[in-house]
Amino acid sequence: MEDLKMLRGPLHEGQREAFLLPAGTGQAELIAGFADIRTRIANYADEEATFSVIDIDVPVGGTIPRHASATGDRVLICYAGTGKVRWANRETGIAQGAVVFCQRGAVVEIVQTGSDPLRLTMVSLTADAAERDALFPLDRQGLSQAAQTAQDGMVLVEAEEEGEQYWQAAPSLGYITLKFSTLDPYYFSASSQTLDADAAVREHGHQRSTEIVVCTRGRGLCIVGDVERDFAEGDLLILPPGITHRFVNNSGKPWTYTGIFTPPSVESALRETGMRKLPGAERPTDIPRNPTTERLLVDKYGFIIPSLQ
């Protein structure tokens, strides 16, 4: 794929690589009656991660009719436009930064609203690598028009600022938002990170988790080894286990990206090292970030922090 930008990491050289796909790239396809899609990642499989990623572009006035995935759970991340998600006689609006979880078998309808197209990145997840060849959209049997009475499966919708939020210490000034805290799947977690202007996430990696990252608001830099790339709205970044990386907000404005970790590994660490962000409360100025807390991330939560090695 010509637009694939490889980012070679300093660890696992020659075995695993990070890569970035800019927004609007990928194999274009039209599913009649559904939407324009682009296949971003087809049947990715690592030791503990199996998924596919597509982009969905719902035009003005467009609708993705009632449908369900019979093969796996899905997470949809909105990075542009507005719309509505309908399921089980319920309706919730979505906008930039919203995240939607659709359990296998959940019947959903997605409707574009407003004056701009609704743009979503959809990660199709399966806990069983043996099922990876059936992931939507590569096998049409995995996606079916749903009967009007079908209501199997759970749907969760959270807006950009919904979820458990924790202030982060310098240099990662800003906060993280843990999504779907009431959901406890054993094979993935979802969260977003908002970095203040000029803030940065230090170089780190994860021993087990693959990160699937979508920029949902603003822009900044992602850096893997000595390779630096712009990372803007709709861009997709895949970071396999062991690949150390860092983020720098050089935009002068807040920058938000949303990540899916499979298997989960960071949510408890972020709770333990951050400070709870509560409505109306001032930002704390005394969040500890020192070798003790960093050692905790390494020893207890499987982080890789090169500066400690």
Q: Report pLDDT digits (tens) over 42-77.
A: 778 787 888 888 899 999 999 988 888 877 899 999
Q: For the chain, which domains are there?
A: 26-158 (2.60.120.10), 164-308 (2.60.120.10)
Residue pLDDT, tens place only, 118-145: 999 999 987 655 554 444 544 444 555 5
Residue pLDDT, tens place only, 214-225: 999 999 999 998
Phi, psi of 295 (to 5 degrees): -65, -35
Residue pLDDT, tens place only, 73-124: 999 999 999 999 999 999 999 999 999 999 988 999 999 999 999 999 999 9
Work out the average pLDDT over 247-266: 95
Residue pLDDT, tens place only, 283-308: 888 887 766 777 888 888 788 888 87
pTM for the structure as a whole: 0.89
Residue 297 pLDDT: 83
Residue pLDDT, tens place only, 183-221: 878 889 999 999 999 999 999 988 889 999 999 999 999
pLDDT band at 7 (very low <50, low <70, confident <90, very high): very low
| 12, pLDDT greater than 50 | no
